[in-house]
Every structure is written in structure tokens, then in C-alpha cells.
Structure 1
């Protein structure tokens, strides 16, 4: 193979970041058994979602993530023009997602979270530690999108106003503490304890659920659902995690309680995808281009 052909076959930084974001969404969807969420077993608490649709939605978002990463590289400055560019690209990505899913909201929250992280990673790829990327994403999220069209408040925004919780936008503006302070440390603790990757990722999800004020759960089941999610997730971790017999019993009880309340922790799922993205980012960028 000639050097010219080899160079053309090497993925660009934007392509690699988009690949990583989409793979994080697919891996989050595939992870099983997740309490009351779509996974390999079924649709959880959802009647309009299944694994096939989640995969199709994730793949449909690749062009948006690629364009956001490309914008981060080309504009190369954390400021208002970049914020408004990725806001527009995110809305275009959401429209593409809804076209693919027939109007079902599969990944709206993930577009926001992963879009910011992809852009932040592209801005300074040599500074790819989770804390560095999250801080840049937070600074970007705090900027106003003056081009955002007027629209009716989302379910998440109405829940945020009703209950006084942080919500997805404030989570981003704070630097994704659910992922950075809870999901990622638990993922690595569980790996260090010798648990396989599936159980480590489940434990990371549970660590996020144990503390997150999940607006998806609040929308569906109010404060009762939120308390059930948080207490149940803590019980699994306190029992030794999802890899232990006691932990699996607690996980089954948690799922039973959430299904009874029709509560699905979609916000926690989005932050798990962000956790997986951050966990894999630095090793990926440290690899030679074209080696993946």
C-alpha cells in the first residue's frame, strides 16, 4: 500500500471522535441488565423504544458529532461562535434522529452531553484527561446560544422548574459531575476489583443513579420514583455491586420497583454514555492515528 493511500485511509480526529461517541451510545444501549432501561432483554419501562431503534438513532447521530468535532478544530477557540455553531449542529442532529426514529426521542439528552464533550475534545486533543475535557465542555455549556429558537419547555425543563433540581443543562455547566465524580471512579474501582467489563459498567450506571436527580424519572414517577431509584442503586453497590449474588438480588428488586412506577433512568443512561466516552478518550487519542 502506498503512503498516499494509507494516509487517505487513516481516520481524521473528527471521525475518530464521532466514532467514539456513537460507540459509547451503542455500548450503553447494549449493556444488560439495566434496571427499567432498554437493553438486550427488552424495552424496560418504554413502550416506544427497543434496541434496534436505539442503535439506529446512535448511528444517525454520527454526522452531527463529526460536524461538532470539526467545528471545534476549525474554529479553535472556546467562545460564542463555537457555542452557537454546535447548538445549530445539535438541533440538526436532533432532527435527523427524530426522522430515523419516527419522532421518538431516543437520544436528545445524549446529543447535548456528548456533543459538548466531542467539541471540547477536538478543541485541545493533547489535553484529553477527563477532567480537562469536562472543564472545557462546562465552559462551552455556560455560554448563551443566542440563535436558539423559541420553543415550548421540554419535559426536563418543566421538571427542573417544578422540583428545583439541576437538570441536564446545569449538569453540563457544572462539568458533568455525575460522570466525572461518580460514574468514572466506580467504573475503575470495579475493574480494579476484578469484575468483568459488563459488571463494571453496570456498577458505574448504578453509581450515577445513586446520586443523580434524574429528570426522566421525575417526569414519569415524581419524587417517589427518584427516591426508589437512588435508594435501590445504593443498595446494589452496598451489597457488593452487580457482580455479586447479593448485588444481583438488589438489582432485580430495583428493576421491579422502577417498572412498577413506570420510571426509567434515562438521564443516568446519558451520563453513562458520557462516562464511557471520557474513559476511552485519552487512550484513543494516545494511539497512533490509523491504529484503531
Structure 2
């Protein structure tokens, strides 16, 4: 597959990379990797994520170009092919560690959705991205999970779907990013209006998302009960003001210590926090449709 990359796709890819880096750079991010901690992980650190993000920016940019060019009914299958190759590259640079497989999936779809919106001559808004993501991913859960009863070996995500009906990230994109729209973006706007710095904005968004996200990283590694504990702790933090108050911050720091000790890492929520920033940036950076090619 050979594509020329437009300036428009390059702009989208730049914003995707920024959102990836902002997520991993923020602290305290309970149980997650940051510049100051490996969180609940023993096999990765901040620099592992820098290598991973660097490897993923071009595939995500290419997905934006596909969104600009292709019929929406074909977009998902074309970007999935790119995603498979991108995963292989990610594992190469991380020595086999899964740092951002879920985030690659999310940002590839959002990038292609932004490209599709722009190709129709429209400005990119969160609602337009939500609708485009849902259209691109229509039927995804049925396609991926519809024949699980015939499989002998199941992944964690597949087991969670069969046992608890959890659709995870597939359900999120198929429904048009409801967690981002309902919890991520309002928290981001609230934190921005309060004048928080970029780090604290990202933490506030993360905790808001954690109270609602169907985080299969936690449910798969531990249990649904542990996931509910995490949601409850995040709700308590947000009820006390999150990063807007000293009381909320104290709860978040306690969560960070506890999650590290227990090895709890809300990676699915982290992916949605990065996706939230990505959607916000796409809708505020005045990306224009360009015909001139960069490469």
C-alpha cells in the first residue's frame, strides 16, 4: 500500500503524537507510567513509551490520509492492515512489551475519522468525530466477537465479553466514544477553565474517565470487582474536586501509591484520556484541507 501524505494528514499526525506524549508525561497518574514512575509495571518505563510513540506516529498519520481519501465503508479494514504492521514495529522498539496497542487502535480510528470529516468539507468538531468514528466502526463487535464459541483459545478481552458482556474499546468506538464525550471532554474543559496547567489538566481528565471506563486492562488482569474498586476511588476523587482541590489531589496521590503497590494499571482509561486530548486538539487547531503533498 503506497500513499502520498498530505499536509492535512501530517497536521493530524502531529496532534496524535502530542496527545500520546501528554498522557504519558502527566503525573500523578495512578498505576501508570510517567517520567517519575513505572507505576504498576515492571517491564516498561517512560523511555519505553517514548520509543513506542515515536514508532506509531507515522502509521497514525497514514490512517488520517486514508480517512481523507477512502469511502467510509472501507476505512476500517484499510487502517486495520496498517495497525497490524504498526503493532509489529511497536513490539520491535519495546523489546516485546505492549505499551500502546490500545492507544494505537484508538488514535488510528480517530485520525481516520478526522480525515473523513475534513474530506466532506466540514470543520472538525467533537460531535462530528464521534459520528464518524461510529460509522467507521459499525459492526465491529459482532465481527470480532460473533464466533467466539467456536474458538478454543480466548484472549482476556474475549473472555470478558463472554462472561460479563464487556465490549471494551470495541464498544467504545462503535458507540462513538461515549466515555470521551461524557466524561473526558467535560473534565478537560472544566480544568482548562480553572486555569490548571497541562499536567494537571491531563490528570483531571484521566481520573474523570476512570470513574466510568470499562477498563478491560484491569478487569482482565484482576477482576470486575477490582475494576469497580478503581471506579469507586476515582468517583470519590472527582466528588472531592479532582485536581481542582487539595482534598481531591490528596485522594489521587493515595490512589497512585495504592495502585503501584497492587500492580493496578488503568491502561484503558489512559488511552481514553489521550484520545480526549486528541479530539480536543483536532477541534480547536483549525486544520484545513490541503491538496499540496509533503512527500
TM exceeding 0.5: yes
Confirm or deny that 1:85 pairs with 2:78.
Answer: yes
Question: Closer, same or farther in 2 for the Cα pair 1:160/1:97, shift >3 Å?
Answer: same
1:5 counterpart residue number: none
Confirm or deny that 1:116 pairs with 2:109.
Answer: yes
Distance (whole Å) between structure 2 residues aligned to residue 144 and residue 213 of structure 1: 17
Q: Flag as ranges the 4+ runs of structure 1 deviating above 6 A.
A: 287-290
2:225 counterpart residue number: 224
Confirm or deny that 1:237 pairs with 2:238.
Answer: yes
Question: Contact 1:160–1:215 (CA<8 Å) still a contact in 2?
Answer: no
| Offset of residue 154 of structure 1 | 3.3
Q: How does 1:207-222 map to 2 (within 5 A)?
A: 207-222=208-223
Confirm or deny that 1:276 pairs with 2:270.
Answer: no
1:200 counterpart residue number: 201
| Offset of residue 183 of structure 1 | 0.6
Deviations 1:40-76 (A, max 9, x none): 211000111100010110110112112111111222x
Question: Closer, same or farther in 2 for the Cα pair 1:275/1:173, shift >3 Å?
Answer: same
Greater displacement, 121-130 / 22-31: 121-130
2:136 counterpart residue number: 140
Question: Contact 2:215–2:267 (CA<8 Å) still a contact in 1?
Answer: yes
RMSD value over aligned CA atoms?
2.4
Distance (whole Å) between structure 2 residues aligned to residue 52 and residue 151 of structure 1: 37
Greater displacement, 134-143 / 181-190: 134-143
Question: Contact 1:64–1:89 (CA<8 Å) still a contact in 2?
Answer: yes
1:6 counterpart residue number: none
Structure-2-length-normalised TM-score: 0.87
Question: Contact 1:71–1:119 (CA<8 Å) still a contact in 2?
Answer: yes
Question: Closer, same or farther in 2 for the Cα pair 1:182/1:210, shift >3 Å?
Answer: same
Distance (whole Å) between structure 2 residues aligned to residue 31 and residue 171 of structure 1: 23
Question: Contact 2:26–2:200 (CA<8 Å) still a contact in 1?
Answer: no
| Offset of residue 78 of structure 1 | 0.8
Greater RCO, 1 or 2 (C-alpha within 8 Å, sep 6+): 2
Select which of 10, 17, 36 maps to 1:22.
17
Number of residue equivalences: 277
Distance (whole Å) between structure 1 residues aligned to residue 83 and residue 47 of structure 2: 22
